[in-house]
Structure 1
């Protein structure tokens, strides 16, 4: 038998099995949603040139630069197969690889590369603004700029974008940054889909969020607020927030099993039927734990190491190897698993086999799955002792930390008061003037965008530490320290905790 170190080094839980039962749907299938050509997809090259010439430009030189770039980009796109401009755009490969724009520059010309690149970029931005081609989010992540989004906002229903700002005022969204990020997310969706704001649907926002999650493995900033701003303008259905719309609610036993990706059809069927049989007597949280122990930690782990296996009648070698991996495989964070985890999983599996045997005596429909129990009584002999050990460790941690509670409370209160005083001093100090707080020198600063006379946005509360040069958002810090103190006080005063 392999040593624990060898098993631990060679064992990996399957990626699909690592996931917990999520509360929200991420709509991963929408991440690669394709966009077909629009109304101008079949225009001739000359007609596209005329449209590009009609685009507004601050100076004639900008219009000329756009047209020079178009006379290079359009013939190049025409050389690729496709019924329309969108199909040619995708066939060219530039949508997936924006760096191909450098291949269109002519090395023989005396003009600098930067000028040629500006012309090509201006032409492509014109095609996007006119909704002749619809770039992917990947392209926009590499080549999208504020100038492109602003141009699209001005051309396609600017009244609806103004309505977004009005709705932000109605929702009392004071953070200018959060507003701009949410509106920018909607502008990207408009550019990608080629539809106006009032034509967007919940699926469009789900697709953008799914792409962002797939690309950066995190939630798209601003998409939640974007939903709230768009509600009542676009067709988002009955849900007023993204969280409500993406919350899937309680999963059925079949969904719980399929969530972990069980491949064996026979075992999948018995697992679903077993959970359905147990469901009436269990709350949903217990159902989640049962499905994770039985499906995730038992069958999926065995199926990963023995693909093609489709029976619950397991050889002793397979069961022994599984139990050893259960003991030695670390958590996702690389830490050793607690002993109680092993007993919980094997105890659940033992009860599963015993239930199948007992039910088979009363209902012949269960007889085909009544196999010998692979978990012996000796395998769970230390379960009670392990649970008592875990509870004792929890109580000891509480005893160790309780004497330091007053230190935590005092520190939180002091930090809250200090940040509130610092914010008060900053707000009473004129911009560009200095002040002292706590023996340190600061200067009130304001970014150039907020210094313009026509600016009506509320500026952030920024100060510069004169000793280090660090710019601090003291308003945000004050809010964070207040809520940290509030959370500590709620937990301390109410005694709320997670009871193992």
Structure 2
């Protein structure tokens, strides 16, 4: 340390920190210090500099600390500074499941922040974390452990009055109407004030995401664009030439491509002018000076309906394209999950460096048996692709959540926001008049702010039960997490969300972007393509359209489907339903010949209480000897009540003995038919035995689900 002091003493300054900065060493990283040093001299100087850092005499920058390897300095700093706080931080990291490497990196991160800022740990602020993140990104390094460090510091009493997570602290909140308009730097202050007032008025009837779009169209695409091309413009009364030029620009993007939502921009501006005109009649003293002829004529927006029809046609064509390949996607998700579970189980039972086989493919678990680096990671390398290495735990997690997302979306038709807002409290039970418990799924208000409850079939209950069992904490409870709504830019209350997973040693709710990435990855891996070889991709909303198409085409009345989907307008549901030409003809003729003359308006009315009760309780009318008939609502039996052969029969496990009796009787009859040479009867009985075998396999699957707690209402706990 004496050598360091002698060297720094050559520079003027009141403190050693001033002399350090004047030396220029803080900006050169590993090349710091006096020139011409030998390796031995640099080692001595480095040791002395580390001592001065521990004594808090020097505060090097993040860039210097990240570029210089000061072995042992961080541990020494923690031994001599705030030892009690660092001990509590270490216990917090261990209690939250932080592995040796991850917890150590979080402690090193907080140590760097204390060294650079010169603050005590409990005095660190959110801004310090933001500065650290910016410095790390500038140096090309990751900040993966930063959220974990934030949380353990908050848990020991630091970051007072700050949110409990870095995500909540750094998430952008809602902007005021004035802030939304001021993003576009409107020059004319009075017109800027008019826009602010108008946006504030619209805020009462719009959600935040729509309000942001409204401000963007009026302030950004309309008036700011006019000011750029017509400097000095100061009146809403636009000359015809100026209005025409703006409408041409509004129809194009900056790169010259057509703007798909140009009619939305024109409609927003038209509504703005017409609203100002109405206000001028109601309050002339304030608004008469702003009333002006609307530059958007009815002819300008007449193409909106045509554009809407074209957009609807594109969506329906996309749905028709995706419906046939959904079974392939579902099968790929199931196969991928099954393979990932087998690989993970085998890898955990294999020592690092050893090989194992799963499904005929050889793998090697990487690492050394004596290595303590990342003890919780299970890295695996396929021997056929030695350059490829993956984390088996991460692969299994991705496969599971991809499968769960697909199953819930395709069985409920929920929006992506509604899916991610599902909680343990969303599962409910309804006791029918027959005494049967019917599982229900409660969908929280989302786009339309209307809550709805839909019946949950046993397969959906099995999926949700598997999700719940996976996310439960050791105490048997689902952890409480706050979800950030990126559309509304707000955090919800802590709730037991179902779609939560461990990421970077922290429980987090899966984001909408991550859901889209998982679906895209699966479609690419499954090589799902169109008939012309074009790769097909699935989005979460595709499953909503597919669900509505299949339910309505399967016989569910469209006004009931609208309630299940949460649509306020039947036209919206009709736009979702992609029917095929033969179905259009059949439904149209049926509608014209039998219904239109008799009750022209009944098809578009609200369902009555009796109809809701009939729809809710119709399952009780499907009870048969062997179980429950799951044929679509309102349809007759098309299989002459040959339940053993019917794919719609869901076998009751308690009726397996009855099924075995039917099998034995059928085999006796088959023997008799062989003896009597009743060849037609032989063929029929063999077909029955084939279906009985399928029903026995179904019974085995149901029995396995029951043993795992994945079926029936028992899973709701």
| 2:281 aligned residue | 361
Residues 429, 288 of structure 1: CA spacing in aligned structure 2 closer, same or farther, 3 A cutoff? same
Residues 281, 151 of structure 1: CA spacing in aligned structure 2 closer, same or farther, 3 A cutoff? same
SS at match of 1:328: coil
Are 1:170 and 2:118 matched, yes or no?
Answer: no
1:462 is aligned, of 357, 379, 386, to 379
Residues 181, 410 of structure 1: CA spacing in aligned structure 2 closer, same or farther, 3 A cutoff? farther
| 2:267 aligned residue | 347
| 1:486 aligned residue | 404
Structure 2 matches for 1:26-41, cutoff 5 A?
none
| 1:407 aligned residue | 328
Separation (CA, whole Å) in 1 of partners of 2:311 and 2:365: 52
| 1:130 aligned residue | 55
Tell which structure's C-alpha radius of gyration is larger.
Answer: 2
Alpha-carbon distance, 1:223 to partner: 2.3
Are 1:75 and 2:6 matched, yes or no?
Answer: no
The structure, 1 or 2, with the larger RCO (C-alpha pairs under 8 Å, 6+ apart) is 1
Alpha-carbon distance, 1:204 to partner: 2.5
SS at match of 1:399: helix
Deviations 1:244-283 (A, max 9, x none): 3344544321122234444442332111111122333333
| 1:160 aligned residue | 85
CA contact (8 A) 2:253 2:259 kept: no
Separation (CA, whole Å) in 2 of partners of 1:312 and 1:170: 63
Separation (CA, whole Å) in 1 of partners of 2:208 and 2:340: 43
Separation (CA, whole Å) in 2 of partners of 1:99 and 1:306: 51
Deviations 1:150-190 (A, max 9, x none): 4433332233223223213333x355554344333322222
Deviations 1:13-45 (A, max 9, x none): xxxxxxxxxxxxxxxxxxxxxxxxxxxxxxxxx
Alpha-carbon distance, 1:412 to partner: 1.0
2:149 is aligned, of 205, 218, 226, to 226
Separation (CA, whole Å) in 2 of partners of 1:283 and 1:424: 47
Alpha-carbon distance, 1:296 to partner: 2.8
Deviations 1:332-353 (A, max 9, x none): xx794553x1110121012112
Separation (CA, whole Å) in 1 of partners of 2:91 and 2:231: 57
SS at match of 1:280: coil
Could you state the TM-score of these two structures normalised by the residue count of structure 2? 0.52
Separation (CA, whole Å) in 1 of partners of 2:397 and 2:70: 32
Judging by fraction of residues, say which structure has more helix: 1
Structure 1 stretches lacking a partner, 5+ long: 1-51, 53-66
CA contact (8 A) 2:30 2:67 kept: no
Alpha-carbon distance, 1:305 to partner: 4.7
2:115 is aligned, of 169, 191, 195, to 191
Deviations 1:276-307 (A, max 9, x none): 22333333333222112212322334445556
Deviations 1:70-120 (A, max 9, x none): 432x135x24xx54344444455544x3259458313xxxx64x5555455
Structure 2 stretches lacking a partner, 5+ long: 416-540, 545-571, 573-717
| 2:677 aligned residue | none
SS at match of 1:373: coil
| 1:235 aligned residue | 159
Separation (CA, whole Å) in 2 of partners of 1:165 and 1:265: 55
SS at match of 1:431: coil
CA contact (8 A) 1:279 1:287 kept: yes
Separation (CA, whole Å) in 1 of partners of 2:191 and 2:125: 39
Number of equivalent positions: 415
Could you state the TM-score of these two structures normalised by the residue count of structure 1? 0.72
CA contact (8 A) 1:329 1:336 kept: yes
Alpha-carbon distance, 1:121 to partner: 4.6
Deviations 1:113-157 (A, max 9, x none): x55554555454444333223233344444466644344333322
SS at match of 1:231: helix
2:395 is aligned, of 454, 472, 477, to 477
Separation (CA, whole Å) in 2 of partners of 1:484 and 1:141: 37
Separation (CA, whole Å) in 2 of partners of 1:130 and 1:421: 53
2:210 is aligned, of 263, 271, 286, to 286
1:327 is aligned, of 251, 263, 268, to 251
| 1:300 aligned residue | 224
Mean Cα deviation higher: 401-410 or 371-380:
371-380
SS at match of 1:240: coil
| 2:15 aligned residue | 84
| 1:104 aligned residue | 34
Separation (CA, whole Å) in 1 of partners of 2:341 and 2:126: 40
